[in-house]
Each structure stands twice: as C-alpha cells, then as structure tokens.
Amino acid sequence: MTKIAIIGAGAWGTALAQCYATAGHDVDLWTRLQDHADEMIEQGRNDRYLPDIDLHNNINISTDLTEITQAELILNVTPAQYLRDSLRQLAPFLRDNQPIVICAKGIEIESHSLLSTVAHEECPKAKIAILTGPNFAIDIARGLPSASTLASDPETGKFLMENLTARNLRLYFTSDMVSAQIGGAIKNVIAIACGICHGLNLGESARAALVTRGLAEIARLSESLGGKRDTLMGQCGVGDIMLTCSSIQSRNFSCGVALAQGKTIDEILNERTSVTEGVPTAKAAQALATANNIDMPITQAIYQCLYENLPITAALDQILNRPARHERE
C-alpha cells in the first residue's frame, strides 16, 4: 500500500482518488475550501464535481497541506493556469526527491511554459512527472478500463509505474515529456474546433479531417520544442485526441458545440463549474507557435474566435481555403 496525496478535488482529482483507493492505496484528497471538504466528508461524495459516486473509505479528505510530507508521491490535479500558485504552496512541505505527478493539461499563458517547466521552477527539489491520456473522470471513478501515458525520467518512471498502475488504469511509459504535454494540451483546442464542426452539422468526414490535421499541428509544435513525433502515436496523442474530439462529454468539444449554437464564450464559461482547458490553452499555444514560427492554422482560428471575435464561419473558411500541402507537413 502506497501513501498518495492528490492536490485538487475536482472531477479528475476525485476520480484518481477513487481509482487508487479502490486499488488499496491510502489516499489523501486535498481541497483548498473547507466547506467543500466538509460537504464531501458529510455526504461521502463530491457532489460539486462528480455526483453519484460514493467515495471509497480509503480516501481521507483534507485541507491541511502539511500532511503531504507523509505521502510517498503527490498527484497535482490543479488546472494549468493555477498550477504555479499551487506548487508554490506545496514547495515548503516537500521532501528532497519527492515525486510530483502533474495531471493537468495545458500551457501557462503568462510564460508560455510547459507545465513541467513550471513545476521545476517552483519545486526544484521534487522529481517531476506527467500523467496524461484519453480519460473521462466518470469512467475512471466507475472503475471502467482506461490507459494513460506516464512521462518522466526512467528512474522516477519505474517507481511511479509500479505504484500508479491500477486494474482500470494501465500506464505506458515515455521519457518524452515534451510530446506528452503538447499532445495533452493542444488536443483540447482541436476539440473545440471539432465541437464547432459537430454543432454546425458538417459531418463526420469533416471532423475526421480536423482531427488528422490537428494531430499534424501537435507534431510540428512538439518537434520544434524537442519532442518526438512517434510519441504522439500513443495514449498522449492519438488516444487523447480521439476521445476528446468525439464526445459531448468532453468540456472542450461541448464548448465548440455551444459556440456553433450561437453562445458567446463568456456565456459558456459562466455556466460551468469545471475549467475548459482548451480556452486558455488556445491563447498560450498561439503565442508559443508564433514565437517558434510554427504553422498551426486550426489553433490560430480557434484563438481568433475566442479572443479576437472572429466569426465561426470566417474561421472555417480560413481553415478550408488553405493551399494543398504534403501529408507530413
């Protein structure tokens, strides 16, 4: 049995807590809000983010960060744009070489940094890893089978693979942390485009084309930052983009559908309690692509829709009227 601390009691953090508690581990699930902790303890559920799932008895709900000193490893599930602040709060309590697994997907807007870079800056004593892949929280919480990519250095990866592989969450290891993160982040932007396509009834062929060209954008950006294209053929690339770009359960896909139905992005986000990561990621990815002179037309079009009031029809025309090019470009 491993002592695992999970920082962030949203849907994904709660699902991971349920997964590892069911696997026999001792899990501390941390939330920053005392009233949220009190609700979960009293109700035995996380009705704010993952209703109808009875929390396992091995899950201890906490607001006390000092308890993480007892954890053998930490899963940080804080959304990407809040990760730096979360890690700053964690840093004083960390032991040397304590593993921190980043479970968010995104790129920091302010610095245009990958989340592993943010983690290394704020927690230099820790061993940093990335957990990413095609997972819906409700599936994991219900014990349904799934798989993910774990990215880290080989030594840390061996320890984490031994302790974080569960019956319903199979892990595949890579040392390519760049591609693992770019795949997980940019697919959320592509999912917004696919949701728009679905909302406008443009058909499955158009959506398949968006997914394919979206994966090409992800590969170009990954390679420019030192990642490997082949890594994206696994769970963190093909797997993640397939799931996120094809289901209304995806917050990013459903965001695109709502945009196609005429809602503004402010209206959509104000209706939600959970973060739609593709929205801030579009801004960060556009800046990163510009800085590295990488052609990312789908990402650019979604960024312009979200932040520059480009009409959806104009964005589609912008994508569809691009010149023909080689398949690998």
**What is the 3-state secondary structure of 174-216?**
ECCHHHHHHHHHHHHHHHHHHHHHHHCCCCHHHHHHHHHHHHH
Q: Which two tokens stand for residue 56?
A: 């396992």
Q: Is 127 a catalytic residue?
A: no
Inter-residue contact 74 to 100 (CB < 8 Å): yes
* Helix 297-307 vs helix 312-320: crossing angle, to nearest 10: 170
Given the residues 125, 187, 228, 283, the one annotated as active site: 187
Classify 299 as helix, strand or coil. Answer: helix
Residue 301 half-sphere exposure toward CB, CA atoms < 13 A: 26
Cα distance between residue 270 and residue 266, in whole Å: 6
Backbone Cα Rg of the chain = 19
The dihedrals phi and psi of 174, each to the nearest 5 degrees, come to -145, 150
Inter-residue contact 3 to 72 (CB < 8 Å): yes
The dihedrals phi and psi of 215, each to the nearest 5 degrees, come to -65, -35
Q: Which two tokens stand for residue 31?
A: 């939330």
Inter-residue contact 29 to 62 (CB < 8 Å): yes
**Catalytic annotation, residues:** 187
